Chain A
């Protein structure tokens, strides 16, 4: 007979809240980090939100910056989709198996793609900048390379996870490999790919802004310059416009997602099979081509310029002993600490805030606005802002990264929560339970696994992203990398890039394993 009072473990609804326990040590440590020098500046920054500058000169320069950022994002995204789709098909086991009867080329390409994927777009941007000088194509390429490798991985994973019975049946009936593949795998792949593609466009806008912060042009550059010269009203002009653009883009993408019946990024519900509105889709895809050409022309992008390498600074003799003398264990530990804290903050605080928030419409709106600001505000700028009142270090970097990812996770959680089965929660509410408790008992239980699986993926992204807050100092590999880049100490740079890539690949393998476990137990 089974014991009714067995080894108790927390119900799934509580799992997503557990990472929020990181708040306890953070709140203990934070007072020691406050230097209190810049509260007045933070106040002026906050006031600036209410009084953005409407000076025509400022407006024009911000709008120009926004146009460059949006154009860069669009081009980088389009190129990454093309690249990703091609490489994704080329690295799918099922494709090689069907056409050649062997899987090894797929595995080889997949391994090779891990390298561009493990290096953050910022590093690509800064490396390319060293090689070919400042030009608009650098930012586009910096987005296209890692994003393309990411899309390729998703495409090949999706292709390999689709059921193969139909394919085998067609193949056995004598239809040639490529056409059998297209017929059987194309329709189920399309809606997932579109959904993921829409999400990548949102990411591309964020990345293009971030690259600007590091001097690659566009609105990000304006934001950093205005922040550093403490011109807060001008800063907020840029922020509000960027916020408007981002919300419009997100609304457009989720509108299309509904219209074309695409699955959410993650949800408890099964994904619907085939997207609708095929003709509309084709037209939209065709419209992208002239649009991309026009944008490239407006941004004065000439691919041929990429071939004009500028002379590298003199490389000098490698000093491997100095490289080996770097405090590797501390660098790696700090990087992992930063990633862990930022991920726990983001993953744990999104459900916690949803539960703590009173169920009034105004409060919900305020939370959405807070999350939208987190998504939009590039983490290095948050970090710079935090430096007004906090000392540099791992925690400051983690807060900045955590806030950014909280914005992303929070929105996805809200979307998935709205799409989850309302039945159990509604039944509890009609039995007299409050709306927040009904949310915890009803939807959180079914969302816990997919949410945490997504959180594991996000942690992996945060590890890669940890380089972007390197500029606040003492955050581990990121800081060291940016220093090596600015001095072009190529021996250090190579070693650090390798270490970063290895760490990222290790993290990816771990998070994959965690995700598989979460989906199996379900």
Chain B
């Protein structure tokens, strides 16, 4: 089976040192990978290369075995299979929860439905079901996103991602601004969604949240310095390597 994502010696230049320096990484279908490393290690750049926001100056990116098309319909179809949970969520504040959830379907929908979504509540059944799965009150569907609490907004962003039905899930430090209980809940949801036929690549700041991932990849100064399957014993077995990864890094 083709890997969900393949990065082959990818380089992204930076000011002092490369943001990514010859990074190679492969994500199999069903694999859930945690990307860790100190601030400035290149985690966000790697996620940005993986979702097509950044184009590397050297090296190759393959999405489900295909190189990214330059633009046009093929590129949009490729992008539609990759979903990103952004650290700043990037929800449309002025729209309702339902409209935001449905925005995940825009790649599939044509203009008429996209316009209709701005006028009427569409696919209410699917949206209600999703809200229940995310442990959100379906009554919130008609509320503008701007009126929600931080934890609710996080779930709506995840809901939009799930409405998109991507094959590759990317998340850039989604747990950074959450309290411990919310972080654990969201992580559990993400890990469940990352099972086959999907794959999950999630960047993390805290090594204590590694439980449940299949593999851990460590970045430092734009280079991969650690890439191992995560033993059933969890992060405890990796203590020495993790210490090395963060050693001397300005936190």
User: Are B90 and A423 in contact, CB atoms less than 8 angstroms apart?
Assistant: yes
A121 to B53, CA, bound (A): 50
Chain B positions within 8 Å of A431 at CB level: 79-80, 82-84, 104, 106-107, 164, 166
A430-B82, A433-B76, A441-B106 are known contacts. Are A4 and B98 too (CB-CB below 8 A)?
A: yes
Q: Which of A1-46 contact B (CB under 8 A)?
A: 1-6, 8, 10-14
Contact B79 A432 (CB under 8 A): yes
* A432 adjacent to B106 (CB under 8 Å): yes
**CB of B233 closer than 8 Å to a CB of A:** no
**In the bound complex, do residue A4 and residue B76 qualify as a contact, i.e. CB atoms below 8 Å apart?**
no
Question: Could you tell me the distance between the alpha carbons of A364 and B127 in the complex, rounded to whole angstroms?
Answer: 37
A292 to B130, CA, bound (A): 67
- Cβ–Cβ < 8 Å partners of A430 in chain B: 51-53, 79, 82, 84
Contacting residues, chain B, for A445 (C-beta < 8 A): 92-95
A8 touches B121 (CB 8 A): yes
Q: How many residues of A contact B (CB 8 A)?
A: 30
CB atoms of B92 and A434 under 8 A apart: no
Docked Cα-Cα span, A431 to B103, in Å, equals 9
Give which listed residue, A4, A6, A437, A448, contacts B106 with CB less than 8 A: A437
Are A429 and B141 touching (Cβ within 8 A)?
no
Are B53 and A424 within 8 A (Cβ)?
no
By a CB distance below 8 angstroms, the chain B residues around A1 are: 139
* B227: interface (CB < 8 Å): no
**Contact between chains at A432 and B80 (CB < 8 Å):** yes
Q: A4-B128, A424-B91, A426-B90 in contact; A11/B119 too (CB < 8 A)?
A: yes
Provide the bound-state CA to CA distance between A3 and B111, in Å: 27
Mark each residue of chain B from 54 to 96: 1 if its CB lies under 8 Å from any CB of chain A, else 0.
0000000000000000000000111111111010101111111
Nearest CB in chain B: distance from A485 CB, A: 47
* Whole-angstrom CA separation of A437 from B166 in the bound complex: 19
Minimum CB–CB distance from B242 to chain A (whole Å) comes to 31
Residues of A within 8 A of B77 (CB): 432
Whether B142 sits at the interface, judged by CB under 8 Å, is: yes
A428 located at the interface, meaning its Cβ lies under 8 Å from any Cβ of chain B in the complex: yes
Contacting pair B76 A432 (CB below 8 A): yes
Contact present for B99 and A11 (CB under 8 Å): yes
Given the complex, which residues of B lie within 8 Å of A423, measured CB to CB? 86, 88, 90
Q: Does B114 contact A (CB under 8 A)?
A: yes
Complex Cα spacing A459 to B206, Å: 55
B79: chain A residues within 8 A (beta carbon): 429-432
Interface size on B, residues (CB 8 A): 45
* A426-B53, A427-B90 known; A5-B142 Cβ under 8 A: yes
B81: chain A residues within 8 A (beta carbon): 432
* Most chain A beta-carbon contacts within 10 A, residue among B107, B127, B128: B107
B239 adjacent to chain A (CB < 8 Å):
no
Q: Is the CB of B92 within 8 A of A437?
A: no
Q: Do A427 and B139 have beta carbons less than 8 Å apart?
A: no
- B30 contacts the other chain (CB 8 A): no
B contact residues around A390 at 8 Å (CB): none
Which A residues are in CB contact (< 8 Å) with B119?
A: 8, 10-11, 14
A339 interface contact, C-beta 8 A: no
Measured in the bound complex, the distance between the Cα atoms of B143 and A302 in whole Å is: 64
Query: Is A4 touching B80 in the complex (CB atoms < 8 A)?
Result: no
**A427 — nearest CB in chain B belongs to which residue?**
B90
| A410 within 8 A of partner (CB) | no
Residues of A within 8 A of B245 (CB): none
Docked pose: A430 CA to B121 CA in angstroms: 24
Q: How far is the CA of A224 from the CA of B197 in the complex (A)?
A: 70
Which positions 140-158 of chain B face chain A at CB distance < 8 Å? Answer: 140-143
Are A448 and B107 in contact, with the CB atoms below 8 A? no
Decide if A156 is an interface residue (CB 8 Å cutoff): no
CA distance A446 to B95 in the complex (A): 10
A448 and B84 form a contact (CB under 8 A): no
A2 B143 Cβ-Cβ under 8 A: yes
Give the distance in Å from the alpha carbon of A11 to the alpha carbon of B118 in the complex: 5
Question: Contact between A446 and B94 (Cβ–Cβ < 8 Å)?
Answer: yes
Q: Are B139 and A4 in contact (CB under 8 A)?
A: yes
Cβ of B40 within 8 Å of any chain A Cβ, yes or no, is no
Alpha-carbon distance A448/B92, docked complex (angstroms): 13
| A346 close to chain B: CB less than 8 A | no
Q: Which residues of A contact B141 (CB under 8 A)?
A: 4
Among residues 424 to 470 in chain A, which have CB atoms less than 8 Å away from a CB atom of chain B?
Answer: 424, 426-434, 437, 440-442, 445-446, 448
B26 close to A (CB within 8 Å): no
Q: Is B177 an interface residue (CB 8 A)?
A: no
When C-beta atoms are compared, the residue in chain B nearest to A12 turns out to be B94
In the assembled complex, the CB of A520 is this many whole angstroms from the nearest CB of chain B, namely 15
How many Å from the CB of B138 to the closest CB on chain A?
6
Extra contacts, 13 of them, besides A12-B95, A431-B107 (Cβ < 8 A), are: A1-B139, A4-B141, A6-B142, A10-B119, A11-B118, A11-B119, A13-B94, A424-B90, A431-B84, A432-B77, A432-B107, A437-B106, A445-B94
Residue contacts A-B, CB under 8 angstroms, 28 given: A2-B143, A4-B128, A4-B138, A4-B140, A4-B142, A11-B118, A11-B119, A14-B118, A14-B119, A424-B90, A424-B91, A424-B93, A426-B90, A427-B84, A428-B103, A430-B51, A430-B79, A430-B82, A431-B80, A431-B82, A431-B84, A431-B107, A432-B78, A432-B81, A432-B82, A441-B103, A445-B95, A448-B94
Q: Which 9 A-B pairs have the closest CB atoms?
A: A432-B80, A432-B107, A427-B90, A4-B141, A11-B118, A433-B106, A432-B79, A445-B94, A423-B90
